[in-house]
Structures are given as C-alpha cells and as structure tokens.
Structure 1
C-alpha cells in the first residue's frame, strides 16, 4: 500500500488502487474483526490468527475504500489447480487465495464496485513447492519404470 501511495504522491500514477484483502475462512481475523485463537487452513502462509501488521492492513483497506472477503480451503485449492492447469503457474495455497477471492467475487457479483473492464492485479508470490503435499494429494501415484529408454517411452505413451 505504501508503494502505491508513494507512486501517486510523486505523480507516477493517477491514483491508488482499491485494496481487496482475501483471507482463508478458518484464519480470518481482519474479516471477523477478532483474534482467531486456533487458525485453521491449508494455506500455511496465511494461517495467522493475530497478524502483526493488522493495523497497517486495515488502514490500507479503509483508506482505499477497499474490503476484505473470505474464501474456503476448497476454493483456495480449486484456484491453485486452475492456475496450474490454465496459466502454468504453480503457487502455494496462500498465493492462490487472491485468485479464489476474485473468482468468488466475479461469480457472486458480491463486489458491485468492480467495474466491467477494471484492471485487476493479484499478487502471487509463493511457489507451489513451498507446500507440495497439499496439491500432491490429488495426483495419482506413478508406477515404477525401469531405467531403460524403451520402458520409459512406453510408460509415457501409455499414460496419455
């Protein structure tokens, strides 16, 4: 938020964006406006019940006329899969939360302040290998293949 404000201040932008926070439903202290004693979510990087920067985040939301929304773990994991399958981007669950939130807002038209042709930026910073066991549950176990080029080729062809 501070960077956006500074860009606006020095004339490098024509305003600051509206900040929309997305929290996992089981770890959403800003959304619920109370400390979450035992936060629970598959998104380990946002499994925080009492964020150290709570005041800063709330100020950014308030100053930008933003909002905060929640998404379920199922929505987070669906967004993580969608990003990998459709965009070739493998992110950890916490980084999929903004996409899950965007998908939910668009589907429900909950946030009517999203103009039809708005430029929307979702920041996705955590690589999928941070929490690989979360998404690996959905993959089939591979069968062992001998270290022979013909066997490897046959396994690849048969898998298609």
Structure 2
C-alpha cells in the first residue's frame, strides 16, 4: 500500500520510527542522571531494543553518561525467532503485539544484545499472565500482555540470581491493556455483584 497510496509505514522498517523511539532512552538518562545497568524490554519486531540501544549509545558518545546498560530482551516462547535463530512460520502467544515470526529489526536487535553484553531470552505465556496480574495487583497498572513479557523476564532472571544486589534495572511497559482487552476479559477475575447492604459489603471485605 505504501508504494501505491500516500500511506506511511510506521513499523520498525521505517527509520524515522527508530529515531523517535530512541528518545525514550534519553528520557531515562535525564530522569535517573545516569544509564541503568540493565534495560529490559519485550521483543517482537525488535524496534524497541534497537532504538533504545541507539539512544543510549548516542548519549554515551556525547559524554552524557559514562556507562551503557546491558540490553535484555524477551520473546514469547511460541514466538521466539531470534532465540531460535530462524523465522517462526506460525508464531503463537497470548501477547499479540510480540506475535511476530520474522522481526523487521532482527539484525540490529542481535547487535544491541551482543554489543551490550546482554541477552535475548524467552518467557512462557504462563509467566506473561503472572506478570500482567502482578502489575495490576501490586502496581495498579493495566498493561497489555506484551508489556508484561518485559517484567516477566525481569522476574525470571531475578529468581535465577542474575542481577547483582542493588543493581539499577529499568523495565519498559510498551502498551496499555486496552490495546488487547480480550486477554484481560479472558484471564482476569471479574468482581462479584453485591446487594446494596452494609453488612453484606462489610462481610465481603472481610470486615
């Protein structure tokens, strides 16, 4: 369509998207006063990990930071072409935003991983669901499943003892839960309707 109609392609094939996304890493450094030691992101088309690494490198080149983070990316187990080393013809995962079998920014994502000394690994759909629920219950954040892949990966590495004590880790949430509401309706427990009675409500609240 882009070749025939006046329509802009806005996935990570478009270099302007990468240039725009990289500014998020500028904001992180400007806020923290330094680069994090670890940057955690979900990986689908791999534009985010590409862009963030580009931004960190540019700030480092300008002398705004003395160190660079290790880039840690996470793909869903059923949609992990970079981890597997080959395209996935029929990717499967509840995280629709990272359900991509042949990422547009594959090579640059691998470069970000290797140049930073980081990792690109997988998380299961069960771990993604756990991440979504924990974000909602503990932080009050309604994130789409692809976002939860980021924190699911962070917790997975933390449980394995990957991070040093007191390490500065930044995990990115890339999309609101309303971007993929079917997941929330399917996986989350809906509230129970109660009659407008003081004792009934107090009892339900454990009071």
1:25/1:12 CA distance change after superposition, 3 Å? same
Matches within 5 A, 1:9-158: 9-109=61-161, 111=162, 114-137=163-186, 138-140=188-190, 142-143=192-193
**2:20 equivalent in structure 1:** none
TM-score of the pair, normalised by structure 2:
0.67
Shift of 1:101: 0.5
SS across alignment from 1:121: strand
**CA drift at 1:72:** 0.4
Q: Deviations over 1:86-115 (max 9, x none)?
A: 011111000011100111111123x3xx22
Deviation of the 1:140 alpha carbon = 3.0
SS in 2 for 1:41: coil
**SS of 1:38 mapped into structure 2:** coil
Q: Distance in 1 between matches of 2:196 and 2:175?
A: 32
Structure 2: tracts of 5 or more residues without a match: 1-52
Shift of 1:157: 5.4
How far 1:139 sits from its partner (Å)?
Answer: 1.7
Superposition CA RMSD, Å: 1.8
Q: Distance in 1 between matches of 2:140 and 2:197?
A: 24
Matched pairs, number:
151
Deviation at 1:61, TM superposition (A): 0.4
